[in-house]
A = this chain, B = another copy of it.
């Protein structure tokens, strides 16, 4: 455990930690967790191997931090964006746009989180799973409310509906490069309208106001 720091020095510590985690995320996304050695992470992050072990006592702790921070920040951002939005159809629009925008800026993190959950063990797995499950519960609640209010008698299974949406969203890292052609808005809008139409059984009504954000 590092000695207590003044806020000023703690900022620098956190900034360096973030820079190291970013470098590690890119390396794991391109090489795979098994192939990304701590020595290679230290090299791409521009720190010594001893310096790296100052931040995490193991490679698994590093992988845990990447996944835990990715999902915690996604969940926090989603809750912020949902603040004051009461209509479940509009909530679904916010969820898809938040997810696409969050990972459009960090496809490597989506790659690592999609591939490497099972590389975590015991407590680390449980803690990441818990955050992912909070995210699932939030999405599931929104989808269930849409099906309940608007499902029009279609007997859809909320679990299959949510997992089909998560598949669509988590597969983005395999094909979507926001620097090439399609904007975040274009991709998020089509995914949203396809999914909403799919579970509503008809095209959704026009949105009450333009969605905020990227």
Count, chain A residues at interface, CB 8 A: 42
**Beyond A157-B190, A168-B171, A170-B171: 8 further Cβ-contacts under 8 Å?**
A154-B203, A160-B191, A161-B190, A161-B194, A194-B199, A197-B197, A197-B198, A197-B201
Q: Does A119 contact B (CB under 8 A)?
A: yes
Decide if A115 is an interface residue (CB 8 Å cutoff).
Answer: yes
The CA of A154 and the CA of B200, in the complex, are separated in Å by: 16
Docked CA distance A119–B30 (Å): 9
For the complex, give the distance between the alpha carbons of A81 and B164 in Å: 23
Q: Which of A31-39, A49-57, A66-74 contacts the other chain?
A: A31-39
A195: Cβ under 8 A from any B Cβ: yes
Dominant secondary structure at the A interface: helix
> In whole angstroms, what is the CA distance A190 to B176 when docked?
25
User: Interface readout for A165-183 with B: 1 if CB under 8 Å, 0 if not?
Assistant: 1111111101110000010
Complex A-B, nearest 7 residue pairs according to Cβ-Cβ distance, in ascending order: A34-B34, A167-B171, A198-B198, A194-B198, A167-B168, A164-B168, A167-B167
Query: Are A171 and B163 neighbours in the complex by a CB distance under 8 Å?
Result: yes
- Which A positions have Cβ atoms within 8 angstroms of B? 30, 32-35, 115, 118-119, 154, 156-157, 160-161, 163-172, 174-176, 182, 186-187, 190-191, 193-203
- Bound: A33/B116 CA distance, A: 12
Nearest chain-B residue to A36 (Cβ)?
B34
CB distance from A189 to the nearest CB of B (A): 9
- Interchain CB contact under 8 A, B32 and A119: yes
Q: List 19 A-B contacts (CB under 8 A).
A: A32-B119, A156-B194, A160-B182, A160-B187, A160-B190, A161-B194, A163-B168, A163-B171, A163-B172, A164-B190, A164-B194, A166-B171, A167-B167, A167-B168, A167-B170, A194-B195, A197-B197, A197-B202, A201-B202
